[in-house]
Amino acid sequence: MSKSEIHQLLSFDINEKTLQRRLKKLADESHIATSGQRSALKYLSLTKSMVSSSVLQDRKSVDSHSFLLTQESLEKLKRLDTPSYARVKVSYDQSLVESYVPNQTRYVSEDIALKLRTLGKRFNKKLAAGTYAKDIAQRLLIDLSFNSSRLEGNTYSILDTERLLQAGEAVNGKFDEETIMILNHKEAILFLIENAEEISVTPFVIRNLHQLLSQDLLSDSSSCGKIRQIEVKITKTSYLPLNSPQQLEELFTLLLRKAVKINDPFEQSFFLFMHLSYIQAFEDVNKRTARLSCNLPFIQENLCPLSFVDVPRDDYVKTLIYFYETGDYIPALEVFLWAYERSCEQYKVVEQSIGVIDSYRIKYRSERKQVIGEIIRGMIVGVEVQAHLELFCTENKIQNADKFISITTVELDKLHSGAIISLGVTENIFLIWKEKFDTSKVA
């Protein structure tokens, strides 16, 4: 509920500022949670959690700073109170992937998946993959870039992230590692959204996603998108990742072959979330790759995406480490389920603000891709662009040609190399055309 809705239901009088302070105190002490910002701020009862009614009655006490893990999981995580050097060393357990049978083995139970689908469903009819993500793209870019970076220890605030992504303004004007991390997230998220109809969970796609996330952050640029050839270690854990490049390549391919066969989007998402983090296939940026990869099923099925809003970093890291060392995924699943709920609350507000889907855009999507591809391949720029669009509309009997031309013109202006996979052009051809196109605008 919003603050005003709560105010109306109270049986006693209270000053609005006092109510705001008391709600903030309840949220700070983890008795309740919040979703959204400023005028869109909502207060959430933690007793509405998806995990189960019995789980909900067993939340951690206020002074322990965790409100999304069950008492059972908290007891398990006490294992991590022992320093990592004193815990038993464990290596990568490939049986976790090898024994997994798509659509038979389940991490997310069917009843929980059904409840999550009810929460995350956004349309009552079948629409092109990525439609919903495109509608909320501006908000999603900020939220997912900020929260995924925050989970890596990035100190950018949500407002700093917004300024960087919308206006290109870096904190203190410096394009340092934290700034690049957020900009890389933007490119990677756009890659997923804009190519949702064309891509699937394959080694090629995940490697390219890693390349976008890691560009200009690794000391060896050739390591971006490439299965690692060197040994890596993870701090604060007794887990030792696999270090044979040949085995890494094989198991990376195996886990993605299994992932792509999983029909349920929530099971597929959680499988990717856990196993891409666990295998540590790349020199660095593995968890970021996992967090974005696990959104692909949601984007493709027009479900609410997972942006990790308000997920406590400590709970996220500890539950992953616990999985690395024990193979027990339950604590991490609790974090995942809670995080998905929070995202659904976040984008319920956004959805209400964007209005109905423009069916005209959907109807002529393939025609727009066709003509954009023609313009690029034909190296058409300047005034010739409008002439070509008008001729195309006439020849293809496009209804409301002015609207079609207006939409296509804006898309041409915003087009970049991360969004050309479905246009039938190579990156080299695109870059040559783009340079001529931008020059013609200046002229």
Q: What's the mean pLDDT in 266-285?
A: 97
Q: Is 150 annotated as a binding residue?
A: no
- pTM for this entry: 0.69
> Domain residues of the chain, as ranges?
3-59+67-71, 81-354, 359-442
Q: Is the pLDDT of residue 30 over 90?
A: no
Q: For residue range 291-314, what is the model confidence (pLDDT) as tens digits?
A: 999 999 999 999 999 999 999 999
Of 37-41, 101-105, 277-281, the one with minimum mean pLDDT is: 37-41
Q: Is 414 annotated as a binding residue?
A: no
Q: Is the pLDDT of residue 61 over 50?
A: no
Q: For residue range 100-135, what is the model confidence (pLDDT) as tens digits?
A: 999 999 999 999 999 999 999 887 667 788 888 888
Q: Is 257 annotated as a binding residue?
A: no
| CA–CA–CA angle 171, 154, 322 (5° rounding) | 175
- CA 361/CA 357 separation, integer angstroms: 8
Q: Is 285 annotated as a binding residue?
A: yes
Q: For residue range 155-208, what is the model confidence (pLDDT) as tens digits?
A: 999 999 999 998 888 888 878 899 999 999 999 999 999 999 889 999 999 999
Q: pLDDT > 70: what percent of the chain?
A: 90
Mean pLDDT of the residues in the chain: 88
Q: Is 139 annotated as a binding residue?
A: no
pLDDT of res. 442: 65
- Give the count of alpha carbons within 13 A of 47, CB side only: 2
Q: Is 326 annotated as a binding residue?
A: no
pLDDT of res. 286: 97
Neighbour count for residue 319 (Cβ, 10 Å): 26
Q: Is the pLDDT of residue 47 over 60?
A: no
Under CATH, to which class is 81-354 assigned? Answer: mainly alpha
Q: Is 288 annotated as a binding residue?
A: yes
- CA 253/CA 235 separation, integer angstroms: 26
Q: Is 290 annotated as a binding residue?
A: yes
